[in-house]
Amino acid sequence: MVSSLNLRQKKHPFQLKVILLGLIFLFFSGGPNSGLTYLPNAEAGFFSNDLELLEEVVDLVGDKYVYAPDYKKMFMSSIDRMIMDIADKNISLKNESTGQSISILDKSIRYTFSYNRENSLENFKKVYYFLLEESEKKLNKKTLEIAAVTGLVNSLDPYSKYMDAGSFKKSMSETEGIYGGLGMVITMKDKRLHVVKTIKNSPAQRAGIKPD
């Protein structure tokens, strides 16, 4: 079963889509003790709509996905994908007894994720802004957010995948083609092919091929 999410962001002049396979539905309808030891300067935009797309995907997965969302796994996968797409050899990701840490040269951030949506999302946003700023904006906000969404969706199951509008359109065109053929049913008997029947108005019938 294939489900599609068509996201039309008010503040995004582009159309994005998410394809989630293996679902049972047809369509989608922190504070000072948060564990973060680094607050990037970009935190001034913390309450902006920079991550509006990601938040919508998180909400839809929480509401409609067949299983209860594992927010810890989802956001960890998002961070892994952002780091992979930034592709900076100076970024170091470490597992610690109390969570994880990311270092870029002399700057670092420590964070933890739980199964609580709000706390995990708050911590994720701070990591997002840290990576955006300290990687010297190797990826812009939009591209980094798409990397985060891609990692999040990929963590759901082996069949879930994020697609932008162009990729989605191409995928649909590839699965909406017209089937062609001779229009006959054949079988093997005594090592020879035999025509069982022909389909009405098919090339085989128009060519005068008749069942054996």
CA distance 51 to 147: 12
Entry pTM: 0.62
**Alpha-carbon 95 to chain mean position:** 24
pLDDT higher than threshold 70 for residue 25: no
Question: Tell me, what's the pLDDT at 42?
Answer: 44
Residue 63 — very low, low, confident or very high, per pLDDT cuts 50/70/90?
A: very high
Per-residue pLDDT tens for 98-121?
A: 889 999 999 999 999 999 999 999
Find all residues with CB under 8 Å of 58, minimum gap 6, and list them: 69, 71, 74, 117, 121, 152
Residue 176 — very low, low, confident or very high, per pLDDT cuts 50/70/90?
A: low
Residue-range domain boundaries for the chain: 30-155, 182-212
Q: Give, for 62, the enclosing helix (H) or strand (E).
A: helix 52-64
Beta bridge partners of 95: 100
CA distance 149 to 155: 10
